[in-house]
Amino acid sequence: MADYKAIKGFKIKSLASDPTANKGQVWYNTTSDTLKYDVVGAAAWASGASVSVAVETGMSFGTSTSAILVGGMTESPAVAQNTSFSYNGTAWTEEATIDTARRWGGGLGASATAGLIVGGSPPSMALTEVYNGTSWTEVNPINRNVESVAGSGGTVTAGLCAGGEPGPGIQVETWDGTNWTEITDLNAAHNTAAATAFGSPTAFQVAGGAPSYKATSEQWNGTAWTEVGDLNVAVYGNGGAGTTTSMISYGGIKSPAVVVGTTEQWNGTSWTEIADLSQARLYMAVYNGTGTAALAISGRGNPTPNYVNVEAWDNEPDGVKTVTTS
């Protein structure tokens, strides 16, 4: 078998500690007895397994390898769905139906076996349904009828749902596993915006949204909403994932007939464009995933109809990795 020197022309260095600033290098750490390399981060969307029903404005929660897709609206005829599907990173499986068909609600949950959906339409509703991996159960409703939420996120026991129509679009409620409680309003409406899917009642963020095409972003710290850095591209109907220190906003519509695939990354301070969806789209099923691994599920373009295709986000950060065998 050829050795490293025969291939690369030099030997792998043996070092007592990991070096710094050595992107692309390989070395042997004699202290930990491990082969290591310093990877250059790469951020990209790849194709995921397609869904069986093309919907827009579906609801989602979970991670990129343990997600739920719920409801949504088919294109023609335009019918709200009561279906739910789970994704294990490889394939979609049909799960139990929800009690009330809907689209455009919020979704909260850390995995495909523990989450909830809230609100939706038509008509605008307050209903909340919890999923335990087997069945959906209706629980206490949110304190208003709401659709096209600014964002939702968290877990089945601690989450938040912000904004939405009808009304001024600024109302916010937290979920404690049993009840919804109204808290401080957003500074401005951000309907159908990106949001931190893995936010919490004390750390949450929305970005973009309607009315009009917004670039602004607001962050919640458990006490107050504060306007933070703007998106580079003003959109609504964009997807969102992550936390208040590592978030992405992807897709959306930036003018009446211009749908984009733009993906922007929030690092806790500012937004930076870092990649594009291969299929520009808006009104995807959100809110699932983290800033480094998420799903853009279905949605639609304009003029194109709803999509069945799914894209998976992977943003491997810069950093030192250990070579493992399996």
Partner 1 sequence: MANTYCTATNTGKGFLTHHDRNMFDVEAHIGDIYVVENNNHGISCINRVGGTAKVKADAQAIVDAKIEEHQASWDNLPEEDKAPIFPGRVRPEKYTLP
Residues that bind partner 1 (CB under 8 A): 42, 44-50, 76, 78, 90, 148, 192, 210, 236-237, 253, 256-257, 261, 275-276, 278-280, 282-283, 301-305, 309-310, 312, 314
Minimum separation from the CB atom of position 99 to partner 1 (A): 23
- Our CB check for partner 1 shows the closer of 26 and 274 to be 274
Provide the b/e sequence for 251-275 (b: ≥16 CB within 10 Å).
bbbbeeeebbbbbbbbeeeebeeeb
Closest CB 189 distance from partner 1, rounded Å: 13
Specify the residue, 100 or 302, whose C-beta has the smaller distance to partner 1. 302
Non-local CB neighbours of 67 within 8 Å, separated by 6+ positions: 60, 61, 86, 87, 112, 288, 289, 295, 297
Q: Is the CB of 47 or the CB of 132 nearer to partner 1?
A: 47
Q: How far is the CB of 233 from partner 1 (least distance, A)?
A: 15
Cα separation of 300 and 164, whole Å?
20
**Which string of DSSP letters, residue by residue, matches 155-209?**
-SSSEEEE--BSSSS--EEEE-SS-EEEEPPPSS--BT-EE-TT-BTTBEEEE--
CB atoms within 10 A of CB 43: 16
Residue with Cβ nearer partner 1 (49 or 53)? 49
- Closest CB 199 distance from partner 1, rounded Å: 24
Distance of CA 227 to the CA centre of its chain: 20
Question: Cβ 110 to partner 1, closest distance in Å?
Answer: 23
Closest CB to partner 1 among residues 48, 107: 48
Q: How far is the CB of 100 from partner 1 (least distance, A)?
A: 19
Which residues lie below 8 Å from residue 274, measured CB to CB, with a gap of 6+?
43, 263, 264, 265, 315
Considering the complex, state which of residue 47 and residue 140 has its C-beta at the smaller distance from partner 1. 47
**Which residue(s) pair with 186 in the sheet?**
none
